[in-house]
Structure formats: C-alpha cells, structure tokens
A and B are shown apart, each in its own frame.
Chain A
Amino acid sequence: MSEISTDLVRHLASLARIDLSEGELQSLTGELAQIVDSIAKVSEVATPDVPATSHPIPLRNVFRPDEVRPSLTVEQALSGAPEREGDRFKVSAILDEEQ
C-alpha cells in the first residue's frame, strides 16, 4: 500500500493551489492511493542502465534570428483578463491585508 494520507493530499492541494473541500480531500485520498499502487510498478523495470526519455523525437536547440516580429497588441493581450486597470492585469493583493 502507498502512503497517501489525507494530510499529504491536503499539502499537495495547497502546492497546486486548489482549495479542496473536506469531502474532496477524503475521496481523493482513497482514489490516489489506488492509482499510485497501480502505477508504482514502473520502478520494477527502470534499472540504472536505462536512459530516461523526456521527449519522443529528439531535436537540437531551435534558434531563430532575434528580430522584432508582429505580436499581440496590449488590447488583445488584455481582452480575456478577469480585471484590468489601464494597460495592466489587475490582481488581488499579493500579501495579506494586514501586512
């Protein structure tokens, strides 16, 4: 059995910035434990002599000339913003109000 606990899932959810309810935490804990048990077998064949593959078709570095090219206008870039102020994305406070 894996060591997936509700506390671990709560921690992972905070890292992933998802405000899960207690009910979601409980059901996810059980589901994740089951999923992790079934996928942990990858380590059976991953011996040290096997190289890792991160990309299916290897490419060398892809370069292009450093030239100014057409890109989104400010209006286009801001067109989907939930809130804007002038030419900027408006976000909530970065720090707690008390600080």
Chain B
Amino acid sequence: MPELIHLSAAELAAKLASGEVTSVEATQAHLDRIAAVDGDVHAFLHVSDTALDTAAAIDARRAAGEELGPLAGVPVAIKDVLATKDMPSTSGSKILEGWLPPYDATVVARLRAADLVPLGKTNMDEFAMGSSTEHSAFGPSHNPWDLTRTPGGSGGGSAAAVSAFEAPLALGSDTGGSIRQPAAVTGSVGVKPTYGGVSRYGAIALASSLDQVGPVSRTVLDAGLLHDVISGHDPLDSTSLTDEWPSMADAARRGGTGEALTGLRVGVVRELSGENGGFQAGVKQRFDETVAALTAAGAEVVEVEAPSFEYAVAAYYLILPAEASSNLARMDSVRFGLRVRPDSGPATVERVMSATRDAGFGAEVKRRIILGTYALSAGYYDAYYGSAQKVRTLIQQDFAQAFDKADVLISPAAPTTAFELGSLVDDPLAMYLNDVTTIPANLAGIPGMSIPMGLAPEDGLPTGLQLLAPAHADARLYEVGAAIETMLTDAWGHDLLSQAPLLKEAVK
C-alpha cells in the first residue's frame, strides 16, 4: 500500500481510528519504504526490529475497544541524540557506537505512552555539531530532493526521513537551528519549542542552555499533534517549565481556516531579511513574495530592527563550545561507550581517557571542545564567555522591543537552499554561518518554526520561512504557521513535497 506513506500523520491517525487501516499495515508500509530508499537517503542509523510487534499490540488493544490517544498507531522516527532503551543511541558518534541506554528519554517514554510506533533512529552530525550531517561518524544523509546535496543538520536524518516519506513524523533537537534549517532545505516543517517547554531528560546534551527537543513533520498540524505528546513539565529536567500548555494541534486547526492573518502584526527582522546580501537570490525572492502575500491577506507587515543580531553567531560559537566541552567530559571511557588503550606507555586512566577521546571524537567535536576549553580558561573567560553572555542579554532586549511592535517575526529559515555534499565540510566558519537566521532564537529561548516557502527558481530546491514568537507563545506559532501554510498551498495548488522528485525504489 504505497499510498499510506503519503498520508499526513493526522490523515493516517483518522484511518487508524476508523479501522480502515491497521497500525501493522501503516508500519509495514513505512518499513518497506525505508528498505526501498534508505540505501540512497541514509536517514536512519538503526531501524527497529520490534516496530511491527509494537504496532500489532496497539491494533489488538484498539480491536478490544480500548480508548487510544490521537496519534496511536502512527509511526515515528527518533533522532539518535535521544536515549532509547531498545535501540542503540550514539548521537552520531563512534564513542557511543552500539550503546544501549538503560533508560528512555522522557520524550521517548511519552511517545510510547501515547502509543506511537518508533521506527528507528535518525542520522545526525556527531553530538549535533554541524549543519549538514556530514559530521556524522556513520556517513552523511542525502537530501531527497537531490541526493548530491545535504539535508541540512544537525537533524538532517529526521528531516530526510519525513521528506522522503520514510516516516510521517520525527523528533529532532535544536541547539542553533538543527530542527529548523533541515526543515527549510527539505521542504518539511520543524519546530523548536520555547526553551523548557519540552523535557531534555535523556537528550544527550550538547549545550544545555540552548538545546530543545521538538517535532519534525510535513504539515503544521502534524507538528502540533506531536508537540502535544512530548511537551509539558518533567520533574526529571530541572529547567523544565511548569506552564499549562494549550493544545498546539488545536491552534494549528484554528490557523488552518486562514482567518488568523487578518490584522496580524508581522515583523520583518531587517538583520535577517537579506537586505545586506548573503542570502541566495531565490530565497530572498520567495521571502519577499511571501511578505507581499501576507500584506494582501490582511496582515500588517512592519520592519523591526535587531542591531545586536550581528553578534549572535559570534556569541553562539563561544557559549556552545564552552557548554559542550563541559557536557562531553562525561565521555570518559569509564561508565559507558568506547575505551581505547594508548599504543605505548603506561595505561593510566588519564592516558586511556585521552586515547579514547582522540579515537572516538571526530574533527568537528575536537575543534569545538578545544575552542570551549579555550573560552573558559583563566585569562580569557571575561573577554569571551563573559562577553558572549552579555550579547545574549542584548539579543533578548532586541526581541522584546521587536515583539512590542509585532505578534510574530519572520525571516528566511536558512540563507540558501540545500548545498552540495562536501562543499562546506572543510570550511568550519562558512558552515557556522548557515545558522545565522536560527541562532538568535536559541540564545533568547524563544520558540521558532520553519515551514515550506516555495522552490527557489534558480535550482528548484525548497526554501523555508521562519516564524518566531515570544517565549511561552508556541501556540501563536502554530496558529499563524498553519494560516500561512494554507495561504501558500492554496496559491500553489498543491503542497510542496508533492513536487519532490520520486526516489528510485530499490528492487527487493
């Protein structure tokens, strides 16, 4: 049943609830798709061998008349940064190759409690450091729109999985754009919730003050349905917020009627709108067209300024390596993961640790750990880490002033369409600039979303629109995001991913 894989999660859930389709059929269809195309796409690092059993158990409970949740029986892919006790969890690193965590991340436990069916673990840049998945220790993922290009990163595997119809839903994590930038370059939807809105317990930490887990999907409503499953207070995460969150799916349904745009104050962030160059022409063109369409739909578009954003990437590449160098100290060859003995000399714990971390970490991880160690070291701390934390305050102030004038802010979600594999991997600074549009939201803790904004005329590849809202106002993103999604797909006459080239299915 190949058509099952093209349904949205909401459509599939309706067919499951009515009994028209079983979870075993839906799960098998996605496993077949993975078997057929993942040799080319490489979205998955591990495919579950128990997914069909999980699905069968859910079907049996439904058949027995049990009341199940809205996404019960729907398959989901899980970024490998998240601990899963029944599947290896490597965060894309050799140092954790084959590691089976003794516990589930809270978001994974919530997927299971809501009776979603985990399909497998998705590829990512090692410890989420990167914008292309090329820093994965297990080889890069490929963009389903053009297999010679990257699907973005770090969560390129999750974005590639949903855009290649290998899964209707996936979980990602976003520290500086790792959900939103892959969504933009694969024509899918990705949401970074308000910091603390979703538990980080069991998410292998990159930068603890920036990391946030969120949904990856093909429609705004589907992202909202998954968001509702994973969000909410978790006593196991001391930074978890105690907000009573409204339903994001309900917000998306309200927005889908299109009325949310009338009178909406939309702020175009001058520093993120490509006015000073640096954006691909087709990205800028689609963005300008979207702004014009919003005005035509009755929104009040205003330009807002955020002068401190110029310093955001610099502050981010001090704060992130500083926190990462501390977090990754736990990869010490003692309690889990790889242990490598030095080639010669005494095998003291310190020398074993150093040999293990040399063998287990890739080049980008080493680069950022050394940079973070430098930023935190005596004599440099105030000039670098201390200054970066002050920039963080300035960026929060810029956002506060912008949200006085606008209900939501918009920008392109990524400065270019998907780039060629290999084109930036040896130029760390150029790779870092890919996140220029997404980083400010992480520094300020506010929620952000990327939705498809059309294909760039020059290369026919997807562009993404980023929406930003004040902290705690995630529901506003879903309402407005769904309204813009409706406006754009009505104008196109189809949804963007229906235009993606058909991947050649391997002969079984």
Contact = CB atoms under 8 A, between A and B. Distances in A.
Interface of A: 4, 8-9, 12-21, 24, 28, 31-32, 34-36, 38-47, 50-57, 59, 62, 64, 72, 76-77, 79-83, 89, 91-98
B370 A28 contact: yes
B412 to A, nearest CB: 22
B443 interface: yes
A36 B367 contact: no
B60 interface: no
Nearest to B368: A35
A19 B357 contact: yes
B160 to A, nearest CB: 28
A89 B100 contact: no
The 9 closest A-B pairs by CB, nearest first: A56-B445, A80-B336, A46-B387, A82-B339, A52-B389, A76-B102, A19-B354, A46-B390, A39-B314
B450 interface: no
Interface size range on B against A = 35 or more
Nearest to B392: A53
A52 B348 contact: no
A45 B314 CA distance: 12
A79 B335 CA distance: 9
B387 A92 contact: no
Most A CB contacts (10 A, CB to CB) among B100, B336, B370 go to B370
Interface of B: 99-103, 194-196, 209-210, 235, 238-239, 241, 308, 311, 313-315, 317-318, 325, 329, 332-339, 341-342, 346-355, 357-358, 361, 363, 366-367, 369-371, 373-374, 377, 383-384, 386-394, 396, 428-429, 442-446, 471
Given A19-B358, A28-B370, A94 B195 contact: no
Nearest to B315: A42
Contacts of A89: 334-335
A93 B334 CA distance: 12
B366 A93 contact: no
Specify the main secondary structure of chain B where it touches its partner: helix
Contacts of A56: 195, 209-210, 392, 396, 442-446, 471
Nearest to A95: B348
8 contacts: A12-B374, A16-B325, A17-B357, A18-B354, A45-B308, A45-B390, A50-B394, A81-B335
Given A20-B366, A45-B308, A94 B349 contact: yes
A12 B334 CA distance: 22
A12 B333 contact: no
Contacts of B396: 53, 56
Given A19-B358, A21-B358, A76-B103, 6 more contacts: A17-B329, A18-B370, A38-B429, A42-B388, A56-B442, A97-B346
Contact of B392 (A52, A79, A95): A52
A77 to B, nearest CB: 7
Contacts of B338: 82
Contacts of B428: 31, 35
Given A17-B354, A51-B393, A35 B317 contact: yes
A41 B316 CA distance: 12
Given A17-B350, A92-B348, A41 B373 contact: no
Contacts of B393: 50-53
A50 B342 contact: no
A50 B390 contact: yes
A31 to B, nearest CB: 6
B339 A42 contact: no
B392 A35 contact: no
Given A35-B317, A35-B428, A54-B209, A16 B370 contact: yes
B469 to A, nearest CB: 14
